[in-house]
Every structure is written in C-alpha cells, then in structure tokens.
C-alpha cells in the first residue's frame, strides 16, 4: 500500500521537475543546430528544395544540398511557410513532439503502471539532460523518438501482436527513418524482435516496409549526377568523413556503445539507475512473472544494439532513442520489486538531482545576439554575401543577406587545405565572393586576424566589447 506521504512527495518532485523544465526554455540561446538545420528548412520553404548558402563551397551545396534530414527539414519548411523564419518557431517543433510523446507514453504504459508509477516515469524522462536539451533544439531526435514509440506501441504492447499492427508498426518505423536515417534503428529492432519470436516472414515484410522510409532519403535525387553529388556530400560530411566502416568494425562498434552511456554526469547517472534496475530485475526474476518488462527490455536492448551498428560516432544525443523504453522498464521493475525497490529509489533520486543541477547550469537564459552583432548586421546591405558564425543566419536571412558559415573556413584549415593566416582567410573569402565578414574571437585566434586592412578587405566596425569585428570587401 502506497502511503499518502509517498504520493505527496512524488507529486511535489514531478511539479519541481516540470517547473525546472519550463524554466530551461526561457531565453534558451540559439544552438548551432537551430541555425544549421533551420537554414535547410528556410530554403525548402522558399524553393521547394534544399540548398545552403551557409555551406557555400561544400561540393555544390550553394546550388543544391542532398545531405539533410529529409522529412524533418520539410516539416520545418512548412512551419516557416505558415509563419516566418524565426528560431523559436523552429524550436517549437521538437517541443510539440515531446508533448505528443508524453501523451503516447500515458496511453502506452497506463495498462501496466499505477498512477504513481506513471508520475515516476514522467519525472525520469522530463528531467533527463538530453531530453531537456533536444526538446527545444531544432533537431530531429525527439520526433524520431516519438515515431519510434509509435512503432513500439503497435509491436510490443500486447504479448501476441496481430499482423495488421505489425505492419502499422513498420510504417511508423519507416516515418522515423524518413525524419533521420538513424530512425533505421527502429526498423532493425522491429525485424530482430519478430525474428526472435521466429516470425521470419513477418520480420522480412517489416524490413521491406521500413526500407521505404530509407528510400525517402533519395526523394530529391533526379539524375545520376545528383546521386554522385549526394555521395560526395555524404562521404565528406564532417561527422562521417574519416569514420572506419566495414564488417571488421562491427564488433568494435558494439563494444564501444558503452561510451554513449558513460560520457557526462547525466548519462552516467542514467546508466547507474539502469544497471541497478537490471540487477534487481534478474535477482528477483521479475521477467518470469511480468512479461511486459521482458518485452520492454528486449526491445530497448535491440534499439541500442542497432544504434551501435547504424549510427556514426557515439554522440550522446542518440541515447534518447531507447530512453522511453529503458525508463519504463526501470519504473516497472521498481513497481514490482519486493526487496530492491529502495535501491532503485535511492539511485533514482541521485539521478534526478544530478540532472536538475546539470540542466540548471547548462540552460541559462541569454540574449540571442549581442548589441554589437545586431548593430553590425544593420551596417550590411540586403543582398550582400556575408561570412559569419552560424547563429547569425537568424539575423542575416530576414535582412535579405546570404550568410556563409565561417565553419567552412575552420574545416578547410583543419583539413590542411587553408593555411591559418589572415591573408589566406580573406583570400578564400574573396574566392567565395564574400562582401562582408563578421569576425569573432574564435576566428581571430584561429587565423591570426588583426584589426587592419588585409588584401581586399578593410575593417569598418569594432564592437565596444571587442567581441565582433566587421570587414568589408573593397570593390
């Protein structure tokens, strides 16, 4: 019997976590991905296809870009068409999907969980650092997670899944992959889940349906030349280039998956909570009496396994794909545990505290732009080609400017293609036909830029705090 005191504490913690989450949204600064991916949606809204002025010089990206999160970018484009190009409008898209995920979570798990357990589940998910960060960043992880939850809802909720629900599950797994290729983890997990049950044909059909979501990645490829450009852009992408791929690498990729779980304090706390729950689960043989815990654990493990193979690198943000299922598993183990409940609650409390502290430090409100950058932006005429840091896109595009991200120069320098000198930086800018360059501290340090005329460029503005310099090309 749950005491009134326990219920009151749970509701208090849930309210605290919810308030902390809302607080983290206030004045959330621009994340580089807001601008990076937001520009793709802007051009899709304007042209019906994606290009990138920000990536001017990257294998024809200024004419057409093929490497982007297809369905996600198009959703952002529809938002822009309906409203305007605004960072907070774009940030609202994953936030809306998070709300849908909580509604779906309630429908998914209410059959298995008590009201108190559902509250615990919402607490664990809503305070997790990666969820808090990605829910208000224009990235596709939260939408992909939502469609993955839909796929799981139709696949694992019942012990014996009807054929029609298996195919519906495959459809949503395909939608997840159409939003981000990493969504293939749900296709792989679904196929393996069915094959473990010896449903060989249904697993094969599941994979075929899911494959159509992968094919959506090629929706804007209209010729062999387009396909060659896609291959060039994809294989040279900064997150992919240099990563070893092959059969011999697969065991190593699986073994390295633990890096995603022990990266920073929030992930470490999450992993310790999961390990504690696993110990209690096996020690008390909970899966023998409560089959839903076994299905959740199996599906979450398969998602994680597929992620280790399919996803590039070990970025911690991809951990969210399995979070709803692992968190539900943790809560159910706590609900059914006889002797290990207190251990889970203690480690869970440390998990919540760790994430709340980390979130408070990580998501502090700040102005979108300094007064210096806003002033500099007004000195640049509409139609000008501007080299600036990625977030400037949200200032430059509404002013009619074409913004190239200085990350291009950084990547060229790291690749030893561009020497780290002011002369080479501005010479390359001239080749890119850049009219104005907004130079910030990082650029000055990397390319040893001084406030003086360099080649065809002269300085015309220096911020009072010295945070930004504006250079103009002399014609």
The ranges assigned to domains in the chain are 4-29+113-237+245-362, 371-473
Query: pLDDT tens digits for 36-93?
Result: 999 999 999 999 999 999 999 889 999 999 999 999 999 999 999 999 999 999 999 9
Contact indicator for 386, 436 with CB cutoff of 8 Å:
yes
Q: At what angle do helices 323-336 and 87-109 cross, to 10 degrees?
A: 40
pLDDT > 70? residue 334: yes
* pLDDT reported for residue 304: 97
Task: For the beta carbon of residue 66, count every other beta carbon within 10 angstroms.
Answer: 24
* pLDDT reported for residue 287: 86
Dihedral-angle region of residue 128 (phi above 0 means left; psi in -120 to 50 means alpha; beta otherwise): beta
Confidence of residue 366 (pLDDT cuts 50, 70, 90): confident
pLDDT > 90? residue 1: no
CA separation for the pair 206, 364 (Å, rounded)? 44
Confidence of residue 422 (pLDDT cuts 50, 70, 90): very high
* Average pLDDT, rounded, for the chain: 93
pLDDT > 70? residue 246: no
CB-count burial class (<10 Å; 0-12, 13-18, 19+) for 255 = exposed
Confidence of residue 161 (pLDDT cuts 50, 70, 90): confident
Contact indicator for 97, 146 with CB cutoff of 8 Å:
yes
Query: pLDDT tens digits for 201-232?
Result: 999 999 999 999 999 999 999 999 999 999 99
* pLDDT reported for residue 229: 94
CA nearest to 183, candidates 214, 138, 154, 137 = 214
In three-state secondary structure terms, 382 is coil
* pLDDT reported for residue 150: 98
Residue percentage of the chain with pLDDT more than 70: 97
* pLDDT reported for residue 244: 62
Pairing mode of beta strands 385-388, 436-440? parallel
* H/E segment holding residue 404: strand 402-405
CA separation for the pair 17, 13 (Å, rounded)? 6
pLDDT > 60? residue 117: yes
Strand ranges in 65-167 using DSSP code E only, listed in sequence order: none
What are the CA-CA distances from residue 177 to residues 30, 194, 255, 375, 402 (Å)? 26, 19, 24, 42, 31
In three-state secondary structure terms, 468 is strand
User: Up-side HSE of residue 249: CA atoms within 13 Å toward CB?
Assistant: 10
Between residues 351 and 57, the one the model is more confident about:
351
Tracing tokens 């990235």 back to the chain, one arrives at 139
What are the CA-CA distances from residue 401 to residues 133, 166, 288, 376, 396 (Å)? 29, 49, 63, 13, 5
Contact indicator for 125, 105 with CB cutoff of 8 Å:
yes
pLDDT > 70? residue 2: no
Confidence of residue 6 (pLDDT cuts 50, 70, 90): confident
Structure tokens at 415: 């690749």
DSSP alpha helices (H): ranges in 262-290? Answer: 265-283, 286-289
Query: pLDDT tens digits for 375-402?
Result: 999 999 999 999 999 999 999 999 999 9
Q: What is the DSSP string of 307-326?
A: HHHHSSTT-GGGGGGTHHHH
In three-state secondary structure terms, 436 is strand
* H/E segment holding residue 46: helix 32-47
pLDDT > 90? residue 160: no
């Amino acid at each position: 019997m749950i005491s009134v005191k326990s219920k009151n504490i749970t509701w208090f913690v849930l309210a605290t976590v919810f308030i902390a989450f809302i607080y983290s949204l206030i004045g959330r600064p621009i994340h580089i991905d807001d601008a990076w991916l937001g520009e793709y949606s802007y051009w899709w809204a304007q042209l019906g296809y994606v290009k990138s002025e920000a990536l001017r010089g990257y294998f024809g990206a200024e004419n057409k870009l093929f490497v982007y999160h297809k369905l996600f970018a198009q959703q952002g484009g529809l938002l822009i068409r309906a409203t305007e190009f605004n960072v907070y409008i774009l940030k609202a898209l994953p936030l809306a999907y998070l709300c849908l995920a909580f509604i779906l979570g309630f429908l998914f798990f209410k059959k298995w969980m008590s009201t108190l357990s559902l509250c615990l589940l919402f607490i664990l998910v809503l305070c997790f650092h990666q969820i808090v960060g990605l829910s208000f960043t224009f990235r596709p992880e939260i939408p992909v997670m939502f469609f993955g939850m839909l796929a799981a809802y139709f696949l694992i909720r019942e012990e014996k899944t009807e054929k029609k629900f298996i195919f519906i599950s495959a459809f949503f797994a395909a939608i997840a992959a159409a939003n981000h290729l990493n969504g293939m983890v749900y296709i792989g997990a679904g196929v393996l889940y069915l094959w473990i049950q010896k449903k060989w044909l249904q697993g094969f059909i599941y994979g075929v349906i899911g494959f159509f979501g992968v094919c959506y990645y090629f929706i804007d490829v209209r010729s062999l030349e387009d396909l060659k450009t896609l291959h060039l852009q994809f294989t040279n992408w900064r997150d992919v280039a240099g990563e070893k791929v092959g059969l011999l690498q697969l065991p190593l990729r699986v073994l390295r998956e633990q890096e995603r779980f022990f990266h920073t304090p929030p992930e470490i706390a999450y992993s310790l909570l999961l390990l504690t729950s696993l110990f209690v689960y096996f020690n008390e043989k909970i899966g023998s009496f409560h089959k839903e815990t076994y299905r959740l654990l199996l599906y979450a493990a398969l998602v994680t396994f597929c992620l280790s193979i399919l996803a590039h690198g070990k970025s911690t943000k991809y951990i969210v794909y399995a979070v709803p299922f692992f968190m539900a598993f943790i809560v159910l183990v706590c609900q059914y545990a006889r002797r290990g409940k207190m251990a889970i609650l203690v480690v869970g409390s440390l998990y919540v505290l760790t994430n709340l502290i980390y979130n408070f430090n990580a998501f502090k409100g700040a102005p979108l732009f300094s007064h210096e950058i806003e002033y500099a932006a007004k000195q640049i005429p509409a139609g000008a080609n501007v080299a600036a840091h990625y977030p400037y896109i949200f200032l430059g595009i509404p002013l009619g400017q074409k913004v190239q991200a200085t990350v291009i120069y950084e990547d060229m320098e790291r690749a030893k293609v561009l020497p780290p000198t002011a002369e080479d930086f501005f010479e390359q800018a001239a080749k890119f036909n850049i009219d104005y360059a907004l130079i910030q501290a990082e650029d000055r340090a990397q390319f040893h830029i001084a406030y003086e005329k360099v080649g065809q460029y002269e300085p015309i503005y220096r911020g009072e705090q010295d945070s930004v310099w504006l250079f103009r090309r002399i014609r």
